[in-house]
Structures are given as C-alpha cells and as structure tokens.
Chain A
C-alpha cells in the first residue's frame, strides 16, 4: 500500500473541461521552526571522491569496445545552399566506417522548417555531414575529403538589421521569430499618462552581447545499439527530453531508448534540449553497427549549440520627484540566431514586469532571426540581459533625482507579482536581501578613498527577481534494503550543482537515517521515474519535495511494521539516526536495520510526487549585489575589488553548495560584465573567437573576494521543504552592479556590455572632449 496514486480530476465545465492530475502526498511543512538535523548542514558533495580521482564517468569518458569516433563537417558560410555533395573520397579513406549527409541520410525534420541535414544552411557551423572512423584523426582527415559545392546567399550578421527592407528572409514567415510574425507586447496601465506624471524621465539604449556558455565538457554523446534498443550516454540536462525527442525523430517507441547521464561537465542551459548530434550519433552507430562517440570540438561548441541571445534594449523610465516610478517602457530586440531550437525561453521582459512597483508599463519584445548560431537558455536567460539595462537605468534615475540608488529601489518595492496579479509567497524576501547585502557591504557608511594617480574607486548596487519555484510533475522512489540502507531513485540530473548531495540530505532527514546509509541514484531513464529538465533553478524545489514524499511514505511503512513488532501504536514511534524510539521512553526500542531484517526479503518501497504550487500566490526568488571597483583611467582597466551577494532561495538545504552556486554565479557575472563577448565579422558572418583563447572567460586572478550574505528563510508556502532554487539568480545582478560602480568611480556610463578597456577609454575620451 503506497500513498502515491494518480487521480484525474475535472476542474472545468462541459466536454472541453480541463483536467488536472492530483497526486500529492500532503506532508506537514518544514517550517522555519522545524528542528532538522541533516538538512541545513554543510555535507561535502557525496560524489566528491569520484570527481577528484578522475573516476567520475562523464559522457566523454564512456569508452565501449569497438567504439568509433566521429566528427561533423560544418558550414563555412553564414547562408548557403548545398548544390552538390560528394563523400566518396572520404568513404574510401582507410579507417572511415560511415559518412552521413543530406544526400544519404534519412530525412528527419528539425527545428520549425529545417532538417537534420538541411541543404539550406543558415549559420557558420551548421551541420553538413558527419563521419565515423576508427580514430579522431581519421575522422578529421575524412572531413577534408568531402567535396561540397555551395550556392552562397545574402545573409544577416547583425540581428538589428534583420528587419531592414533589403534583409534576406531566413524563414518562410520572415525574420521575426514568433508564431504570428508580430512582437510580443505586454502592457498595463497607461504608459503615456504615466510619463506625463513623471518629473524626471531617463531614456537610454543598452546593448548586451552573445555570451557563449563554454561548458568545460562539450556537448556530445556515445550511442550504442543492442538489437532494436538504443542506449545513449548523453551530456544533457534532461534525460527524459532527450529520450522523447530521439524516439520521435527515429520513430522508436520510448521504451527502446535509454538515456544515461551520470556526470556532466557543465551545461548552464545549453544542454537542456536534444540537439542534432545525438540523433546523428545514433544514425552513425546504426549504419556502422558499432558504438559511436560524437563529442563536439570547442569550435563547434561555440558555434552550433547555443549562446546567450544578444539584445538591444531601448528603455524609458519615469519617476516623480520623490522617486515614485510612474512609467516604464522598453523595446527589446533580441536575436534567436538562425533557428528557434526550443528552450530559448529568454523572458527578457520578465524582470521589467515584476522587479519594481510600477502601474504603467509596456514591454515590447522582438525575437529576431540572424545568420548566427542558435541561441539557447543561458543561466537566467533574459534576466541577465534585462538587469544590465534596467538596473543601470535605475542608477541613472537615482542620480537624476539626487537619491541614493538603494533608497530609490526601496521606494518602489513590490510586494505583489504584478504580472500575475498575485502576492509573492515571501513579500519581504527582497527587502531582507537589500538589508543583508548592504549591511555586509557597508553601503551606507561607504566613503570613497582619496584617489592617487590614475585609479578611481566606486560602488554600485543592483537587484533582481527570478523564478526558481519548482513545479510538478517529478517523482522519486525510496527502497529500504535488508541492512537498513536506503536507495533513492529519481530520473533527475545532477548538472554539477550538487543535486545528489542535497537529495541525500532530504531523504536522510525524512527517513531518520545517517547520510552514509542513503544512496541517491539518478540520471538514467531506464531506472528512475520521470523528472523534468534540470533548468530554471527548479531541480531542488521540484525533486526535493518528491524525494521527501517518497521517504515519508517509506518511513510510515517502516514505523507501522515496527509498531506491530513492538506492539505499540506506530504513531508513538519516531526514527532518528537509524534508531527507532517510542514516545516517552528513554533509549531506543529498535533500529531500522532490525525491522528491515525481520521483513526481508520483503521490501519497503516509498513513492513520492511533487505536488502542485499554490494557485493564489506567486513563488519568486530575489537577490541583491553590491560591488566595489577600481578603474584605471589611463589603461581603462576595471578591477573588481569585492562583491557582496545576498540571495534568498528559501531554506538552505546545504550551505556549502549554496555558497558555491553564489560564488560561481557571480564569477560568471563578472565575465559577462567585463570580458565575455562573441565577436562576429560582420562582413563575412564568421565568428572570430569560437575558442577559449580569444573568448575570455574569467580565470583565477579575475575573481575578487565574494561574500555571500545569507538570508536562509524557509518559504513554507512554496513547497513543504521550504526551499527554492539558487542556480541562476547569483549571475543576474553582478554586471549592472559593476557597471554602476564604474559610473560611480569615473562618471561614464557604459551601456554596451562587456565593459572592455576600449569602450571605457572611448567613453572617458568622449566625456573629456564634451567638457
């Protein structure tokens, strides 16, 4: 008897009435007052020893007997049609076992109006052909032996020119990447009336670059067929999405496809969808009868499997003298690249719609096609871009009003989600972040040191809100073994954030077992129940409650059995640290192991599901960051001296893991602020820095002290564990906080990210000549 069952409930009227699935196991909330002994402790990552010894097997490390290696030939042109392709020389090369291209591969639809191997190529790096060979070197040689003739077409390198009258149409419906070819518009109140009420209006255009994810492990997989069953070891954030997509593309039943992902060398959003290479590897494996490894090289990684969409945002923001916002209006142009790949999800308007109380607001979003690699979600997609603009504009407004930037933000504090017209589950959350961050930073007391020589110091602040609520469905099982240990099984992924560890803690807490007696198994579609993609900072708040529910289900069965053996009411029993206690008695009456041994070989199994989110409230996460910088006005160098970050993710399950997420997110934010930028040669449509030499990710010397000012406030209205996500938020406010600090230091506003030396020196020179 288990508590998990699915009820389909009718919630609407008539034939077309809506149905919803109800399957929650109602559990008492872990509130701020609940005494927890495992949750909240800094347990070291449970997979740590595997990772530091090199034993952890990433997709790249799966080596199967007789495995072939593959390479993909990619388009050298931003827009072209293949008129002829001949792979006979490549096929004749010693050691080549299979070649696929538009002339010999099965026709498989891809994206909206394209194919796995399309004869129309829309960006430099688009897939033209693939080779499987005995070695990586032979596969590379073979690519050079494939003869392709291209009919080169006019192209769009600069997405802001996508709607020019002479721009070529990249897709049938034109270059606006929405269903109806129209921009997405959101409006509330009366924006023009709002600007009419304003005493001060700030108007500015902001630009953000295409940032490249540059996961350390490139995208890729190993594919193996056994009869009609396909196994894929894929470097993915979503094993179930890959399974569904691959099954669909190859016309296989889902139970014939197994997707495994035990470890992944970074994803940051770019691995949240099924990409072409997985299906190509499966086809090459089928064709050659051998297992095939298809891992992308660094250049392909940077060209073909995602980037943060570049944006241009034209923003107007108005306020009364006292700082009260009267209107915000923004036109956002953002490039989706050459294709809508799914999972872009760049909700750039979202931050504008929610962060500040503002009755009159209009956001207009233009997703545009261009002949560059497809964009895909990148850690807080849309929000990093929007924060760059909105949070600098707030700083500009504060200066116009002669107000402290912090006070202006507090003046326009929002306690409700104005987009959904619902109160936040924790309306004071952001206020606590403002307090924690500014206090730890010393914002109010800060005095600029006297500048000597060319170096000037300054400080800046920025805030954000984000999702990270988690959502149904998501499942977990718990099995109690005869020796009193527990296996927790779920189909989620640990993408490097520490999911294995935090789920171990949740299960151990609810089961009353020491963490050493709990093992979490994840990342295998054949072994665990469904869990959604690991994205949106949702894994912990989605699967955490499911694991807790499964553990609670197992614990109840365990205590019922113990009650029977002990001849006491099971409700008078509690379990902690592997021991079972009877209420009011000193010492333990029995142990988990004694009970499981008596039951064995019968097995206690718990099942858990993630329940629904509350309908009357909006679950959001919030954060604030303060930065201090030093700018050298002679060299244009910006040194970040320190950052204080405060982020509310509800209950902190593991402070070490949260700290690492915060520090890591800020570090990526520093890269976005100061150095990361895909450079496209506009004349040729070629990416000039698709590598780790000229695309500058932060290195160890770029990272200043980063302090995490903890909030750790359980949000019991969010879910019964009180936890929310922390993966994405820390990277959102870093760049605008730095940009605001740069202005504070030298009085120039850098509106185009990143703040390179060239941009800063040009701005300083312009300021000087305007004098």
Chain B
C-alpha cells in the first residue's frame, strides 16, 4: 500500500514536447506515462495498438528516428527531440497507400487487423534500412510481432511484395527524373 501519489498529482505535470508524424505536440504527462498511452489517449492516434503493454507482442510498434520501437516500453518523456512515426504517419496525403500497406491488402496479410499496424511498422523500419531484404530479414523483422489469427505466412509474403513495390516505385521515380 502506498500513498505519495495523492500529493504528487496535485503538482503541475511536466510538459513534454513530442514530434509525431511531423507535427509538434505539447503534452502534460506524468513521467511514467508511456509513449503508447500518450499516442492513444492524448493524441488520439489509436492506430497504434495496446495488446500486452509489457513488450511481449509488438502491436504497439512505432518508429523513433526511423527505428522500430515498442511504444509500450518507452516513456513519453524519453521521446523529446525524437522523430516519432505511427501508422497514421504513413499517410502522405496523396490518398495512396504506402507500399507496405498495399502489399498487406494484396497478400491478405491480416484477418482481425489488430496486430496489423505493428507488423507494418516493423516492416517499414526494415525497408527504411534495406530496400531489398531477404526472406530471413523479413521474418526476423516481424518475429517480435504476434498475430493470433495466424496470418504469418502472408505477412512474410507481404514483406517481399512490399519490397518489390518499393523498387518499382523507386525505378518509376528515377525514370521520371
């Protein structure tokens, strides 16, 4: 049984400056508030999912400076000065889906869809590093992402397809230039 929180709550909460999907936010949050809860409950970016809340499942995966992280194991205050990208941040305003997202629809790489944003962000991080990953690299990128519906085989397929789509796009862009 412990009491000190009662008094502490009455103190002003620290302000945290966050940059999420290119937008700056100021959030008043308890130091213990996770990035995940901040994204979902404060910024209403609910595409990032809460499943285990202790780093076992990968559903909360987001990018911090391009690298995949578990947002449930990251405090909001740790993210000051870092560039956070969530699944909503893959929307570039053109109305066209990101290659990873397109590949997921094409390959039926989900059923219920709850783990999907996390899977996509894990693969997005991989493709940020390597445009043409091997199957092993794709598999490794999503080993930390659970899918209870069992869409794994199609998730790996979608990873490969995404890398193809990305290459096609790069070539098209190169040719246009």
Instruction: List residues of chain A with CB under 8 Å of any chain B CB.
Output: 44-45, 47-58, 60-61, 63, 69, 92-95, 135-138, 141, 144-145, 213-218, 263-266, 268, 295, 297-298, 495-498, 656-657, 659-661, 663-668, 691-693, 697-701, 703, 705-706
B112, A264: Cβ atoms closer than 8 Å: yes
B87 within 8 A of A: yes
Stretch at the interface among B99-107, B126-134, B164-172: B99-107
A703, B153: Cβ atoms closer than 8 Å: yes
Which residues of chain B are near A495, meaning CB under 8 Å? 112
Instruction: Give me 27 A-to-B residue pairs in the complex whose CB atoms sit less than 8 angstroms apart, sorted by A's number.
Output: A44-B108, A45-B108, A51-B113, A52-B102, A53-B87, A54-B48, A54-B88, A55-B47, A60-B50, A69-B41, A94-B6, A94-B10, A138-B9, A213-B148, A214-B148, A216-B59, A216-B147, A216-B148, A216-B149, A217-B114, A298-B56, A495-B112, A660-B111, A663-B153, A668-B148, A700-B147, A703-B153
B41, A63: Cβ atoms closer than 8 Å: yes
A49, B153: Cβ atoms closer than 8 Å: no
Task: Give the 4 A-B CB pairs with smallest separation, nearest first.
Answer: A54-B47, A667-B150, A265-B114, A496-B112
B149, A664: Cβ atoms closer than 8 Å: yes
B160 within 8 A of A: no
Which residues of chain A are near B150, meaning CB under 8 Å? 663-668, 698, 703
B73 within 8 A of A: no
Are A263 and B113 also in contact (CB < 8 A) when A49-B97, A53-B88 are? yes
A265, B113: Cβ atoms closer than 8 Å: yes
Q: Write out, one digit per residue, whether chain B residues 27-53 have a CB within 8 A of any chain A CB (1) or not (0).
A: 000101100010011001111111111
Number of A-B contacts (CB under 8 A): 182
Sample of 13 more A-B contacts, CB < 8 Å, known A63-B46, A144-B1: A44-B108, A53-B90, A54-B48, A215-B114, A216-B112, A264-B112, A265-B114, A298-B56, A660-B111, A692-B52, A697-B148, A700-B143, A700-B155
Give the complex CA separation of A138 and B9 in angstroms.
Answer: 9
Are A496 and B113 also in contact (CB < 8 A) when A136-B37, A265-B49 are? yes
Which residues of chain B are near A53, meaning CB under 8 Å? 47, 87-88, 90-91, 97, 101
> Which chain B residue has the least Cβ–Cβ distance from A497?
B111
Are A136 and B59 also in contact (CB < 8 A) when A497-B111, A663-B154, A693-B54 are? no
Give the complex CA separation of A10 and B142 in angstroms.
Answer: 59
Give the complex CA separation of A145 and B88 in angstroms.
Answer: 38
B151 within 8 A of A: yes
B67 within 8 A of A: no
B163 within 8 A of A: no
B5, A93: Cβ atoms closer than 8 Å: yes
B50, A263: Cβ atoms closer than 8 Å: no
B153, A657: Cβ atoms closer than 8 Å: no
Report which of A44, A94, A697, A703 forms a contact with B9, defined as CB distance below 8 A: A94
B148, A703: Cβ atoms closer than 8 Å: no
B142, A700: Cβ atoms closer than 8 Å: yes
Which residues of chain A are near B105, meaning CB under 8 Å? 44-45, 48-49, 52
B151, A216: Cβ atoms closer than 8 Å: no
Which residues of chain B are near A45, meaning CB under 8 Å? 105, 108
B71 within 8 A of A: no
A664, B88: Cβ atoms closer than 8 Å: no
A667, B9: Cβ atoms closer than 8 Å: no
Nearest chain B CB to A533 CB, angstrom units: 17
Give the complex CA separation of A396 and B133 in angstroms.
Answer: 46
Which residues of chain B are near A69, meaning CB under 8 Å? 41
B110 within 8 A of A: yes
Which residues of chain B are near A663, meaning CB under 8 Å? 150-151, 153-154
> Which chain B residue has the least Cβ–Cβ distance from A144?
B1
Nearest chain A CB to B78 CB, angstrom units: 16
> Which chain B residue has the least Cβ–Cβ distance from A47?
B113
A145, B1: Cβ atoms closer than 8 Å: yes
Give the complex CA separation of A52 and B142 in angstroms.
Answer: 16
A60, B49: Cβ atoms closer than 8 Å: yes
A54, B46: Cβ atoms closer than 8 Å: yes
A60, B111: Cβ atoms closer than 8 Å: no
Give the complex CA separation of A144 and B6 in angstroms.
Answer: 12
Nearest chain B CB to A560 CB, angstrom units: 39
Are A701 and B139 also in contact (CB < 8 A) when A63-B41, A217-B51, A660-B154 are? yes
Interface centre among A63, A265, A295, A666 (most CB of B within 10 A): A265
Which residues of chain B are near A141, meaning CB under 8 Å? 5
Which residues of chain B are near A705, meaning CB under 8 Å? 153
Report which of A136, A215, A297, A657 forms a contact with B108, defined as CB distance below 8 A: A657
Which residues of chain A are near B114, meaning CB under 8 Å? 58, 215-217, 265-266
B10, A701: Cβ atoms closer than 8 Å: no
> Which chain B residue has the least Cβ–Cβ distance from A136?
B37
Give the complex CA separation of A58 and B46 in angstroms.
Answer: 9
B18 within 8 A of A: no
Report which of A47, A138, A217, A660 forms a contact with B49, defined as CB distance below 8 A: A217
Give the complex CA separation of A135 and B132 in angstroms.
Answer: 43
A48, B104: Cβ atoms closer than 8 Å: yes
A693, B87: Cβ atoms closer than 8 Å: no
Give the complex CA separation of A700 and B110 in angstroms.
Answer: 13
Are A700 and B152 also in contact (CB < 8 A) when A45-B108, A55-B47, A93-B5 are? yes
Give the complex CA separation of A48 and B48 in angstroms.
Answer: 16
B90, A216: Cβ atoms closer than 8 Å: no
> Which chain B residue has the least Cβ–Cβ distance from A134?
B9
Nearest chain B CB to A96 CB, angstrom units: 10
Give the complex CA separation of A218 and B148 in angstroms.
Answer: 12
B112, A265: Cβ atoms closer than 8 Å: yes
B9, A95: Cβ atoms closer than 8 Å: yes
> Which chain A residue has the least Cβ–Cβ distance from B145?
A700
> Which chain B residue has the least Cβ–Cβ distance from A695?
B56
Which residues of chain A are near B143, meaning CB under 8 Å? 699-701
Give the complex CA separation of A656 and B2 in angstroms.
Answer: 54
B68 within 8 A of A: no
Which residues of chain B are near A136, meaning CB under 8 Å? 37, 41
Which residues of chain B are near A138, meaning CB under 8 Å? 9
Are A664 and B87 also in contact (CB < 8 A) when A93-B5, A214-B148 are? no
> Which chain B residue has the least Cβ–Cβ distance from A692?
B56
Which residues of chain B are near A667, meaning CB under 8 Å? 150, 152
Which residues of chain B are near A656, meaning CB under 8 Å? 108
Nearest chain A CB to B84 CB, angstrom units: 14
B148, A52: Cβ atoms closer than 8 Å: no
B64 within 8 A of A: no
Give the complex CA separation of A666 and B152 in angstroms.
Answer: 11
